[in-house]
Amino acid sequence: MEPIVATEFTPLASLLGGVLIGLSALAVLIFFGRIAGISGITTGAFTGASGDRLWRVVFIAGLVSAPLILILFNMEFLGEGTSYPAIISDNYLGMAFAGLCVGVGTVLGSGCTSGHGVCGLGRLSARSLVAVITFMATAVLTVTVIRHVL
């Protein structure tokens, strides 16, 4: 089993990150009339109408390029000394299983954590509230079992 990496409390970076995520969700809603759920955006980039794909591809490119730019320029965000070590699991079977669970859960839940958590709760969606409670309860249970039972 891989070591558990300690996390740092970074309230300023977390607050700013949350604000930027909220603003991006608002921008997608205002400019495109769409919900900024990553699974829906990604699916639409491959299967959506041809006139509706470009903004989705550009949005995904922004998601991928932002952390790469930070790494490329060795930037420390907000001077808090936060480092971003590349910790990549070598447990490919476990990663594949986790990815499969996320994919199936996204289809069954009619959306992902970003769509339900950021956008759905903002629209006061009851379905999104149930989804977020389920995500969070599962996360708490998983961390508890991994850190304190195993």
For residue range 65-107, list pLDDT tens digits in order: 987 887 777 665 554 555 555 566 778 898 899 888 888 888 8
**Does residue 32 surpass a pLDDT of 70?**
yes
Domain boundary among the residues 71, 87, 103 is at 87
Q: Which domain holds residue 106?
A: 89-150
Domain boundary among the residues 44, 61, 87 is at 87
Q: Identify whether residues 122 and 65 lie together within a single domain.
A: no
**pTM score > 0.85 for this model?**
no
Model confidence band, residue 37 (pLDDT cutoffs 50, 70, 90):
confident
Using CA atoms, how far residue 14 sits from 21, 71, 128, in Å, is: 10, 18, 22
Q: Identify whether residues 79 and 113 lie together within a single domain.
A: no
Q: Determine whether 29 is exposed, middle or buried from the number of CB atoms within 10 Å of its CB (0-12, 13-18, 19+).
A: middle
Q: Identify whether residues 46 and 103 lie together within a single domain.
A: no
Domain boundary among the residues 46, 67, 87 is at 87
* Token reading at 144: 């508890």
Cβ within 8 Å of residue 35, ≥6 positions away: 25, 28, 29, 111, 115, 119, 120
Among 14-28, 42-56, 73-87, 96-110, the minimum mean pLDDT is found in: 73-87
